[in-house]
Homo-oligomer: A and B are copies of this chain.
Amino acid sequence: MAEKAHEIRLKSRPVGMPKAENFELAEVTLPEPKDGEVLVRNMWMSVDPYMRGRMYDRPSYVPPFQIGEALQGGAVGRIEKSNDARFKPGDLVESFLGWRDAFVSSAAPLTKLPASNVPPQAFLGVLGMPGMTAYTSFHRIGDPKPGNVVFVSGAAGAVGATVCQIAKIRECSVVASAGSDAKLAWLKSVGVEAGVNYKTCGDLLKAVQAAAPKGIDIYFDNVGGEHLEVALEVARPFARFIECGMISIYNDEKPTPGPRNMAYIVGKRIKMQGFIVSDFIDMREQFLTEMTQWVLDGRVKSEETIENGIANAPKAFLNLFTGGNTGKMLVKLD
């Protein structure tokens, strides 16, 4: 009997801040899996800021989402039917095939989750793309040394919170910026020394100067904008700026002017480098080995913000831009 499934499609391209009306929930009928195919029922879907970029119709490192098609995002699910020798029913798999509660696909693009004691949704967070983003870039671009001062913006997000904890493991001290006192309290509970609530602190520069009186050696940038200008201001000579994202400007309808103090890049000999997690694919094994151990040892903790049901995936996405999540934003399916 043909099964029904649901997916979230891009209905129209957002202009500025995305709205619920840019998305639509659609019901589809799943075909029977053919030879080499499997039917997967998703358990968890990942909700990530970078998806905003794919909603623009412009050339980028990944093709734009298409109107009327399911949004692509990471998901973890369970094999329900298999016509492929690699998988059997009950296997947990990670996919990148769309915001769908169930789907039929070739087995080729699916990855079986390793047997482990961590919950499966961790492979969308601290052991998944956000965790690998944090781990690889912090080491490769940040080049952390014991005693370095690390400033992290968007510090309570999935990537930021992981960066903060890796920095502590590497014997750095951490100044975290986040948008609520509750988020900062959680970050302090995992070892962050100083927190700045950018929504209530008033003058951001003064607040960061007070939190990092000796300046910063590493800036992990998730937000761009004013935070980036402040980081340039407080940077020590030879500071490394890990340019992971600029969520503060993703929804801008007009281009926003950049930092007014770019000349510090010269005078302070700053290295500012952008990246995409796949650039560091050579570090994947090292990341999985070390991070799995840290998670099992309790040295890296993760928070999750969970919305229930595929219909709420757009809401979860919109909440990313208003600071609605602490840690990894997930949609739980059932």
Contact = CB atoms under 8 A, between A and B. Distances in A.
Contacts of A258: 229, 257-262
Interface stretch (A28-36, A69-77, A240-248): A240-248
Nearest to A141: B271
A313 to B, nearest CB: 24
Nearest to A58: B267
A276 interface: yes
Nearest to A256: B260
Count class of interface residues, chain A:
35 or more
Nearest to A245: B266
A270 B273 contact: yes
A224 interface: yes
A265 B266 CA distance: 16
A19 to B, nearest CB: 21
A55 interface: no
Interface in A255-284: 255-276, 279
A262 B61 contact: no
A176 interface: no
A136 to B, nearest CB: 13
Question: How many copies of this chain does one complex carry?
Answer: 2
Interface string A134-155: 0000000000000000000000
Contact of A246 (B263, B270, B274, B275): B263
A60 B267 contact: yes
A18 interface: no
A64 interface: no
Contacts of A246: 262-263, 266
Contacts of A224: 262-263
A132 to B, nearest CB: 16
A60 B228 CA distance: 20
Contact of A249 (B256, B263, B272): B263
A260 B60 CA distance: 17
A324 interface: no
Interface in A152-167: none
30 contacts: A60-B267, A61-B267, A61-B268, A224-B262, A224-B263, A243-B266, A244-B266, A246-B262, A246-B263, A249-B262, A249-B263, A257-B259, A257-B260, A258-B258, A258-B259, A258-B260, A259-B262, A264-B274, A265-B272, A265-B273, A267-B274, A269-B275, A269-B276, A271-B271, A271-B272, A271-B273, A271-B274, A272-B272, A272-B273, A273-B273
Closest 7 CB pairs of A and B: A258-B258, A257-B257, A255-B260, A266-B274, A265-B274, A258-B262, A271-B273
Interface of A: 53, 60-61, 224, 228-229, 237, 243-246, 249-250, 255-276, 279
